[in-house]
C-alpha cells in the first residue's frame, strides 16, 4: 500500500470524507504555491494533471487548461518539478493519458514520478486489461495506480477493478466526460454501491461534481469526492482567490 492509499484509508477509517481537488499542471495559476494553498484549504490528496494534447475524457474546461498549459510550453518534467517544489505533506496523484506514459517508457515514467514524490497515478485510457505492466512497475515504486469504475459495467467488471485498483477507486459519477453538471447524477450512487462489498478501498466520486452541495450529496454514500473543472475554471480565468475560496467551501461541505 502506498502513501495515497494509506492516507485515504485513514481519512475514511477516521469517519471523515476525502476532498481531492484536481488541477492541470502548467495551466494558468497552477504552481507550487497553489498546490500548497490547496493543501492548506484542507485537501486530503491532490490530483495534478500532466497535460495531454488529446484529453478524450475531459470536457471544455480541462481541455482549455491543457491546451493553455501546452501552449505555454509545459513539459511532463515541469509538472513533476512543480510537485517536487511544493514539498507537500498530503499525497499527490498524477493524472495523464496513456501516450505520455508509454512514450517515456513505463519504468522510467513511474521512476520519475517517484523521484518527484508523486504517490499515485490515474490514466483514464488504461483500463485494467491494458494497465498490467504499469501496475506492476508502479507497485515496485510504491505508487498506487488508481482505476476508474464507470456506470453501466457488469458486476464481474467491478470485481476485476476492485481487485486491481490501488489507492482508491475513482467512481465515475456519470456517463460522459469531466465538466460541470447541474445535478449530481443518479448513476454515481449505483457505481459506488456496485463496488461496496467488493473492496474496502476508499470509493471516491468524480466527474461533474460542480458545487459543495453536490459534493455533500455524493458523500452521503461515497468516501469522498474529486473536484476538477469547478476549480480549474476560475483558475484559468485568473481568479485564484476564488478557486481557493471554493476549495474551502467544498472542504467545509463534506467535513
Partner 1 sequence: MTGSTAPARPDERGRFGRYGGRYAPEVLIPALEELEAAWRELRDDASFRRELDELARDFVGRPTPITHARRLSEELGYDVWLKREDLAHTGAHKINNALGQVLLARRLGKERIIAETGAGQHGVATATASALLGLPCVVYMGEEDTRRQAPNVARMRLLGAEVVPVTAGTRTLKEAVNEALRDWAASVATTHYVIGSVVGPHPFPMLVRDLQRVIGDEARAQYRERTGADPEVVAACVGGGSNAIGMFTAFVGAEGVRLIGVEAGGRGTRLGEHCASLTLGEPGVLHGALSYLLQDPDGQVVETHSISAGLDYPGVGPEHAFLKDAGLASYVSASDADALAGFRLLARTEGILPALEPAHVIGWLAHRPLPDGTRVLVCLSGRGDKDLDTVLRAEGGGA
Window 134 to 173, contacts with partner 1 (CB under 8 A): 147-154, 157, 161, 172
Candidates 52, 141, 189, 251; binder of partner 1 (CB under 8 A) is 52
C-alpha pair distances (Å), 86 with each of 35, 38, 39: 6, 11, 10
**63 binds partner 1, rule: CB under 8 A:** yes
Residue among 5, 44, 58, 223 flagged as catalytic: 58
**Nearer Cβ to partner 1, position 13 or 54?**
54
Candidates 118, 126, 145, 184; binder of partner 1 (CB under 8 A) is 126
The three cell numbers of residue 137 are 512497475
Q: Is 58 tagged catalytic? A: yes
Q: Which residues pair with 24 in a beta bridge?
A: 49
Q: Which residues pair with 18 in a beta bridge?
A: 224
Q: Is 5 tagged catalytic? A: no
Dist CA 199 CA 191 (whole Å): 13
DSSP per residue, 48-91: EE---S--TT--HHHHHHHHHHHHTT--HHHHHHHHHHHT-SS-
Window 97 to 116, contacts with partner 1 (CB under 8 A): 97-104
Q: Which stretch binds partner 1 (CB under 8 A): 95-103, 193-201, 224-232, 233-241?
A: 95-103
**93 binds partner 1, rule: CB under 8 A:** no
Three-state DSSP at 195 gives helix
Number of neighbours of residue 55 by Cβ within 10 angstroms: 22
**180 binds partner 1, rule: CB under 8 A:** no
The residues of the shown chain that bind partner 1, judged by CB under 8 A, are 52-57, 59, 63, 67, 70, 75-76, 97-104, 124-127, 129-130, 147-154, 157, 161, 172, 174-177
Amino acid at each position: 500500500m502506498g502513501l495515497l492509499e494509506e492516507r485515504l484509508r485513514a481519512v475514511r477509517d477516521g469517519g471523515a470524507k476525502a476532498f481531492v481537488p484536481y488541477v492541470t499542471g502548467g495551466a494558468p495559476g497552477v504552481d507550487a504555491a497553489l498546490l500548497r494553498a490547496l493543501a492548506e484549504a484542507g485537501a486530503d490528496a491532490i490530483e495534478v494533471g500532466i497535460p495531454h494534447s488529446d484529453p478524450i475524457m475531459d470536457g471544455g474546461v480541462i481541455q482549455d487548461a491543457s491546451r493553455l498549459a501546452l501552449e505555454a510550453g509545459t513539459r511532463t518534467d515541469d509538472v513533476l518539478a512543480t510537485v517536487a517544489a511544493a514539498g507537500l505533506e498530503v499525497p499527490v496523484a498524477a493524472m495523464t493519458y496513456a501516450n505520455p506514459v508509454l512514450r517515456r517508457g513505463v519504468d522510467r515514467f513511474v521512476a520519475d514520478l517517484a523521484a518527484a514524490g508523486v504517490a499515485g497515478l490515474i490514466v483514464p485510457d488504461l483500463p485494467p486489461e491494458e494497465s498490467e505492466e504499469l501496475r506492476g512497475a508502479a507497485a515496485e515504486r510504491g505508487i498506487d495506480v488508481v482505476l476508474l469504475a464507470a456506470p453501466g459495467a457488469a458486476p464481474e467488471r467491478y470485481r476485476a477493478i476492485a481487485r486491481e485498483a490501488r489507492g482508491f477507486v475513482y467512481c465515475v459519477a456519470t456517463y460522459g466526460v469531466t465538466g460541470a453538471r447541474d445535478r449530481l447524477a443518479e448513476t454515481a450512487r449505483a457505481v459506488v454501491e456496485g463496488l461496496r462489498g467488493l473492496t474496502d478501498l476508499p470509493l471516491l466520486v468524480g466527474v461533474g461534481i460542480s458545487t459543495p452541495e453536490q459534493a455533500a450529496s455524493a458523500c452521503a454514500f461515497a468516501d469522498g469526492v474529486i473536484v476538477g473543472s469547478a476549480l480549474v475554471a476560475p483558475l484559468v480565468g485568473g481568479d485564484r482567490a476564488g478557486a481557493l475560496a471554493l476549495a474551502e467551501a467544498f472542504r467545509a461541505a463534506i467535513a
